[in-house]
Structure 1
Amino acid sequence: MENDVTMESNMMIDQNIEGKRENLELPFFNLATIATATNNFSSNNKLGEGRFGPVYKGTLIDGQEIAVKRLSHSSGQGVSEFKNEVVLIAKLQHRNLVRLLGCCIEGEENMLIYEYMPNGSLDSFIFDQTRAKALGWSTRFSIICGIAQGLLYLHEDSRLRIIHRDLKASNVLLDSKMSPKISDFGMARIFGGDQTEGNTNRVVGT
């Protein structure tokens, strides 16, 4: 991240990953910067709302477009999902995973700042009769392959073996070239390096 104007510092997050304590260095945005970028979290800038809380479109002072996921104060599982997403996605780098640009933790505010995906989520195309016509078979096949490549990275090729546990059309975002990016790692879980199966103690995801 090169936007020194928009950040105060890099935040070190101490976490236990695979039994080892690690410091994750993550760019930190101040609240004033994000408020300005989103026009003080204007309803006109709201992209949607999920289990975590509302998501806003923003524009930084240098013109870069961002998506801001703001933790809702009434979100029961939000804090744990926020921490989970920070830890996991900060360690992941792949063209088919949404890129985390940084976070904002100030007062009661907890926010994650991502690259903005101009074409929104996959569900907004495939479940809309008009927009679905824009998805020819070659584009659909390319999207399928991109999602599969992202999953292969999570399951086999990343340093952490990760299962997403909430993969659905609304959690696949599309960039300006209709390339898919898997998002929302709040429910994701780390597997051991040689672990191939496991049990979950509660129902999660969709």
Structure 2
Amino acid sequence: MITKETLDFLKDITVNNNREWFMDNKPRHDKARENVIDFTGELIKEVHKIDPAVDENLDPKKCVMRIYRDVRFSPDKTPYKRNFGISLSRQAKGVRGSEYYIHIEPAKAFVAGGYWMPEAAHLKAIRQEIDYNAHELKSIVDEPGFVKLFGNFRDQEKLKTLPRDYAADNENIELLKLKSFIAFRNLEDKELLQKDLVKNVADLCSKIYPLNVFINNAIA
């Protein structure tokens, strides 16, 4: 599980986001990061059972994103993130595609999966797959259990105009207009503190798995 100390550190860095405070509290960061790494190591084992494309030998340290922000092109110059992000990729290192993502942040935690903002070639391939096999995607994202967990799949960022090569009267135009293909569910802080967190997150990943398979079949 995620510890209260980890959440407390993230709460504190949110209001003390500066280098001096961080260096004074570096041991707290290191302990919190180790907590998240330990959680990730256990999660990798469980997700691999669900999705063999997630390598059971992934290094959990490399799956947990660094807390340091890249501020070069951001108007927000605070140096540290207010969260720990965990990415479990289904692809080889450096290759983009579907993944499972866990976001640890007080009052803003979530589990997500799918493919966020695909590169142009992948976006074209996914749209083509939707055009050819929309029934398969709809059988996943319109399934009542999926909708109950993740909401309406179509309610995410999409084009305001028509995608190239597709007509307005295409029966699947709302799916074709999507810019990302994500399933997303918020987690309450009390859920993060539960001892069965690994199992609960893995169960959510199991519901996202068919979506990830659809996406990777499209871009393969």
TM-score for the superposition, normalised by structure 2: 0.29
Flag the structure with more relative contact order, 1 or 2, with Cα contacts below 8 A and sequence separation at least 6.
2
Larger Rg belongs to: 2
In the superposition, the TM-score normalised over structure 1's length comes to 0.30
Higher helix proportion (structure 1 or 2): 2
Give the structure with the larger strand fraction.
Answer: 1
